[in-house]
Structure 1
């Protein structure tokens, strides 16, 4: 059946255009129900003939049909695995798509999930359910009528098949519900429906608040004065206008507290604070700044016992405060003040019991801590009846200035619906980072870097924080890992594994398809990684054209963008250097190395690296913008010109020119540095360039002026992406959290001198970790050659010395020295040219990057100082070169001088 509409439209030029819109209606659209005799037979049914959910509102099995508002606002409820057999109309799906892309994505995921039994009914093309918009009817009213029509049709259709089923409309629109009930349909609000479900009381806490209960927590007027910013507090403390101390609440009087002002010896003092306004949202054990009141306003401690037992926020606090003032003995007055700001929150989880609200059906109630020094706390739950008279634990998350009580209503963006995945080396358990990319309705791309929220678990100043700061970094040895934080955190609670929900700190960009950033946002989040992949697995997905699932599509977009980002970075002068890296295969029982291979880098290695670099740069800009004096950054100084002498000379010996005036000049030179008959030359020249670099270091922005990162060609940089294994990243997370309003600051974080001292320790620990890792590689290399015996391998001369050559063995990532002159031996015919540089031995010329063959063995003659020994095999020099090895054994040879490494 074809329906058409014709109307006239005036064009810009003044003409008139006739527009015809055609709408096709069909009779063969399936209802989606299993074993339905009325519809054409389908292979894959969606709705079960016996839906499992039972309701107290009716006794027969049912399907649920939500309207648009329910899908938009109660998507958390619909995503619960308990909710199955749901009919989503085409009308609702189209409305949701136009109003919320994230919710549309989430509902589409539910429809795609076969075990959830969500069915899309195309009512707009069904002859019996399509409705025209009537004259004077709004689009919203027309859509509501279309949804009611679907409910009516389904109930009639199901009865024809003699099924003992019904379709229930779930709507939070009062008008829509009344009209549905008026024509004989069963309709309920989302809350009524969820509360009626048998054996699933936990679902009520997934309901979103849609009522006007906010007035129960906050009011439009401010109850408390604004806290002063930390910078003003510090200035005031320094000038003596404010005093810093520890807030001690009075357990017998909730309107009174004392602040123990920090000082040395007898200089410590006590300041009395009375009244809600003066207490100003401070909680027991907080570090606060107080301002002394004029002497004529000083009061004495109250002898009244006053507990906060009131049921609501409309208590006459002013009357209670007047009682305190009327009974004080002015002769005993003490220094009295008011809290003007919070320097450090010392909140922790509190044990106590819930007191149900007197308002019927309220979702917000008061929690009374067992510790009377802690104020009552507002909590949100729909299970108050279940929790009443039970001991529960509650944590404070915030205390707005217009709320009588603190809340536990942390704002953390829910990103569990996104197809996020991690890409790491094989066997990685401390997963710091995960990624996602998806197309937006406007054609741009959303790219997210999600980093483990370690700072949520490690709070400033506690024992765990102190130990992590001392260690500074995780140390990775060949056969083990020495964690900076306990394994429970590093490999479980913080690790972004694909086996459950995890807290993250997300950096999310909107990019165009040329990888240009349009806008950036940072947020604390909760994610559910859909896959933990190795670099090889991720590469396989990208390359396999038959795979087109959400994760694979995301990876392909990320890979495309990463290539653009890398090219742009290199064009700006970023260096692409090289260093030989090896991986040992360790015997699971003996822990001895049984094989050794160089690490193979794939496109996905570079893909992850690019987005980590981008996140680090973005976060560095944000924290420096907010905290110009105390941002923790990382810089890479430019090497002095003399560092490049060996590189320039080595390249010149192969007729290759290297320019080192700028990082860009060096990068361009390295790209062009090729010798046609020597393919490995470019890798060697990059390895040598790495040896010319300076060490990158952490520093505090307020203690330095040079922020530039030479190797990355970036004006500013920091470390944000690895908080599980680097303490620097935890500090950066705390700075970023304060910058975006997700956490509060504390004194040490804002002290540039303490930040500088911390950076010194981090730089030292990082250097020591590098030394440990190199020593571990050296030790395992010795163990490997101890079992392997004597071998011959090809290598390249990396450095030429006066009496020796340094040789790199690419196969093993091993570097060793071949000596041509020994102590207590007659001098050889050696000629060293420092300018070229070359070393001539008995007429044979050795130059940098020359290919040689060496015999590798383990010298175990000194048990305490075993070492790898290299001896020259090729080129052959009489009296110096040694015969090649066969099957790990040396061929018979004439007596020759002993060579040492």
Structure 2
């Protein structure tokens, strides 16, 4: 059956058009109750949820408001706002109307997916009733009726029908809309608000804390702290009229009263400061910003401010902090666009990990998120004493004008604070890393053991098992992606091969394991844990190129002369048997040991010589050598506590492997772009905007070096020339600073950009892709499939050649890769904190940045960047900040960027959530500020300290003298360049 409704509309030229809408209704849709005889008589009952166990007599909803067992019918807002409550097993025998399901899907896809996971779980007894196609529950939308009002009417119609259809059962309608509740009660529908219902549950303590505060339920009625937001209509009109700008809000991690809004069309982000500027924006929100007149523009503050407030009504501390911002010296040459948030277009609130603030009593608690960019959140809980021992998940519900902090609710506890497993869980959740166990469906895609190579497999592959191939990887590596070989062809030629694990042989397109790998996108490495992209049977066994075992590979083979010039290239699928799986250090020892002259030693030495030539050639073309402090943490095998933290050691063999992986990626990129000009998956590194280099250029200028940024080649040359005999670590710090100026490298399908945009800035190559790590990167699997089609080793499939689907895939790959990097760093940071717990050490460091109230100190030994605060209450006059020269002066001691210092390092664990390193200055010694060295603390005298300071000052004077010479040299070179241009 179907029903029709006609609409008469007038078009633009004045004619009237009749639009007929058909809607099919059915008489064979069942109610879901196995005890219903009328529905049992329906023959065609293969519909949604029509099995006999849709509802369970074993599950009983117990609420003081309703006598006996009953069934729940939910409205849309209950599902959207109270999903954390609904996910609790306390709720069962719930009817989800199809009207509600569609509206939830339209308004929030993440909530829809969570709801579907409950519906798909038979133990939860959630039943979908297709009310909008049932002959007795379908109703027409009235003329001029708003869609929300129509949906509410459909829900009430279905409630009434269930009451009449099964008069012996009790049905309770839960809503969060007061008007809908009023009308439902008038229609004799048993109706309660969600909060009313939960607060009267027999086991309310299990879910009471999870109730979302959809309206301000906290007892604070003080004056407004923030300005009112404009309505969405006003915001959109203002943006269309050019009076407002739309952008993404990013909160500062160093100053809780400062943020930035990235707006399309602006070279620089818009700065927002203080309560007026931030106006309740949360990191990630899409906001509307009003730009100030240019005379009111300011600069980013150079002070570090932390939120220390804990009392809702007390905003005195906020006012004081805002005064500190206003006092911050404005750089005349560094004024940036400045404005204020006037409204939020779309919230990006999510679930946050963290802990409760200590020292607060009562049911109203402050939650401190792990992410410093997120403000504290006020929640209501009756189990605070227990929750203060736990890492929690909390979500934001609202942020009223009269509340200093947003309001939210508790979701669940993750585990005891400080426990390794708990902290790993926090890292993974905070960085949105999929880490659940692989499903049975995925595991069914794996090959059966014992796995053997068949004759058919051998016939399709090139047999390279006789060649001396070996792998070189970090210690403890079990997911070995790549192996290498080098052998003589004749007096003038060498054969060099890169052999990559053939993961695509085991992961076929469209299978469950393929979809799971595409979703995860990458393997995530934590300090003591690895989250695999593919199941361990593949990652550490069948795909891993382990020594002495036959494996499938995808090989890239070059013929080269002894000057590393490529004479020919070929690609094919192969069978290899690695002769040895070595660490970088083991391979280096073989190369250096002149007594070793076997095939492995010869191959490694040949590869190493060629790699040096390739690297030199690459650097001459302008490839950048950047730096970032990477550390290795040694763990106790029993307690899993960190024993030692050290910077990773690099060998020539690290560079050797890197060069051939780069060369293989470039060769493969050329091949797949040639054969698939519209859908090749490539990787680009965009050229950073010149403003990104401002910190680097300024740092170089203060040190007397002219950092040229016109091209990657000029930048590379400038960095090579920026060396100092008095400070050997200076060049490394400049390279660390250069790394932070870069944009993120990203994947993209070739058909979506112009060829000029394919360029990889960091590597200085026109074309690049990822081919060499398919065990840990999904992008490489796609590239393997493209290359296999090019070689005739496999067939194509539609999604592989669809650039739009490839573009969507690339977005996920880029996001997952970025999150994996952040998760790895967070894991290292946690374990470094664990290592320092209870320790006090004096360490060598370097001044990385000079701030108005602090020095940013880099500790190379641990890869740490920490803050040494210079001003304390009562001694602000001790240090004098020179904005032009970017220095801090105390007496005879002057601090410049990149100066060497000695600091005492300890860990402040008062705030368990945000443990922080506390630095005290040891060297140079400043009377009344510095501390004595630990080894001299007993017998150090004042004269010794003064001598150290004098020595330091002499060293600084020598460095300043060198800087002045460099500046004069730079000025002279600039003059010469100008003269050449004139000529």
Q: How does the TM-score come out when normalised to structure 1? A: 0.53
Q: Which residue number in structure 1 is paired with residue 624 of structure 2?
A: 575
Alignment partner of 1:781 is 2:832:
yes
CA distance in 2, matches of 1:497, 1:534: 12
1:593 pairs with one of 621, 624, 642? 642
C-alpha spacing 1:435/1:395, structure 2 compared with 1 (3 Å): closer
1:863 Cα deviation (Å)? 2.3
Q: Offset of 1:880 from its aligned partner?
A: 2.6
User: CA offset at residue 834 of structure 1?
Assistant: 4.0
Match of 2:783 among 732, 735, 741: 732
Aligned positions, number? 496
Aligned equivalents of 2:906 and 2:941: distance in 1? 16
For 1:396 and 1:438, how far apart are their aligned partners in 2? Answer: 28
In the alignment, the residues of structure 2 paired with residue 729 and residue 833 of structure 1 have an alpha-carbon distance, to the nearest angstrom, of 50
- Take 2:659 and 2:920, find their aligned partners in 1: how far apart are those partners? 41
Q: 1:409 to 1:492 in 2, by over 3 A?
A: closer
Mapping for residues 636-651 of structure 1, pairs under 5 Å: 636-651=685-700
Q: Structure 1 residue 793 and structure 2 residue 818: aligned?
A: no
Q: Among 741, 746, 758, which residue is 1:707 paired with?
A: 758
- 1:346-425 alignment, distance < 5 Å: 410-425=459-474
> CA shift at 1:879, angstroms?
3.1
CA positional deviation for 1:503 = 0.3
2:494 to 431, 445, 448: 445
| Cα distance change, pair 590–889 in 1 and its aligned pair in 2 (3 A) | farther
Question: Relative to structure 1, is the Cα distance of residues 621 and 772 closer, same or farther in structure 2, using a 3 angstrom cutoff?
Answer: same
What whole-Å deviation, never above 9, does each CA across 1:407-429 have from its counterpart, x for those lacking one?
Answer: 88851000000000000111111
Change (3 A) 1:890 1:642: farther
Contact 2:673 2:750 in 1 (8 A): yes
Q: In the alignment, is residue 456 of structure 1 matched against residue 488 of structure 2? A: no
Name 1:671's counterpart in structure 2. 720
Q: Quote the Cα distance in structure 1 between the aligned partners of 2:937 and 2:518.
A: 48
Q: Which residue of 1 aligns with 2:888?
A: 839
Distance (whole Å) between structure 2 residues aligned to residue 560 and residue 775 of structure 1? 37
Counterpart of 2:216 in structure 1 is none
- Provide the residue aligned with 1:476 in structure 2: 525
Contact 2:458-2:575 at 8 Å conserved across structures: no
Tell me which residue corresponds to 2:302: none
| Aligned match of 2:314 | none
Q: Which residue of 1 aligns with 2:176?
A: none
1:835: Cα distance to partner? Answer: 4.1
Per the alignment, in what secondary structure is the counterpart of residue 628 of structure 1? coil
Larger helix proportion of the pair: 2
Match of 1:630 among 679, 683, 696: 679
The question of 1:763 aligning with 2:796 is answered no
| CA distance in structure 1 between the aligned counterparts of 2:704 and 2:453, rounded to whole angstroms | 69
Shift of 1:771: 1.1
What are the Cα deviations for residues 115-135 of structure 1, in whole angstroms up to 9, with x where unaligned? xxxxxxxxxxxxxxxxxxxxx
Mark the runs of 5 or more structure 2 residues left unpaired by the alignment. Answer: 1-443, 943-983
Displacement of 1:760: 0.7
What residue in structure 2 maps to residue 612 of structure 1?
A: 661
Counterpart of 1:748 in structure 2 is 799
- Flag the 1:853–1:442 CA change in 2: closer, same or farther, 3 A: closer
CA separation in 2, counterparts of 1:627 and 1:438?
Answer: 32
Determine the structure 2 residue equivalent to 1:312. Answer: none
Tell which structure's C-alpha radius of gyration is larger: 1
1:687 counterpart SS class? helix
1:192-247 deviation per Cα after TM superposition (whole angstroms, max 9, x unaligned): xxxxxxxxxxxxxxxxxxxxxxxxxxxxxxxxxxxxxxxxxxxxxxxxxxxxxxxx
- Tell me the secondary structure at the aligned position of residue 828 of structure 1: helix
- Supply the distance in 2 between the matched residues of 1:442 and 1:462 (Cα, whole angstroms): 49
Choose from 483, 497, 500 the match for 1:434.
Answer: 483
Distance across 1 between alignment mates of 2:869 and 2:477: 41
Kept in 2: contact 1:652–1:836 (CA 8 A) = no
Residue 501 of structure 2 is aligned to residue 501 of structure 1: no
How far residue 703 of structure 1 moved from its aligned partner, in angstroms, is: 1.1
Deviation at 1:395, TM superposition (A): 12
2 CA distance for matches of 1:534 and 1:790? 34
Any conservation in 2 of the 1:434–1:450 contact (CA below 8 Å)?
Answer: yes
Q: CA deviation at 1:652?
A: 2.3
Corresponding residue for residue 865 of structure 1: 914
Q: Distance in 1 between matches of 2:940 and 2:815?
A: 48
Matched, 1:543 2:573: no
Q: Contact 2:752 / 2:803 at 8 angstroms: preserved in 1?
A: yes
Q: How does 1:39-58 map to 2 (within 5 A)?
A: none
How far apart are 1:474 and its partner, in Å?
A: 0.7
Separation of aligned partners in 2, 1:458 and 1:820: 57
Change (3 A) 1:605 1:650: same
Deviation at 1:702, TM superposition (A): 1.0
* Cα distance in 1 for residues equivalent to 2:452 and 2:561: 43
Please point out which of 569, 575, 590 is paired with 1:526. Answer: 575
User: CA, structure 1 residues 829+493, in 2 after alignment: closer, same or farther (shift >3 Å)?
Assistant: same
**Where in structure 1 are there 5+ consecutive unaligned residues?**
1-347, 352-391, 398-406, 894-901
What corresponds to 1:820 in structure 2?
870
Deviations 1:746-775 (A, max 9, x none): 111111111111111111111111111111
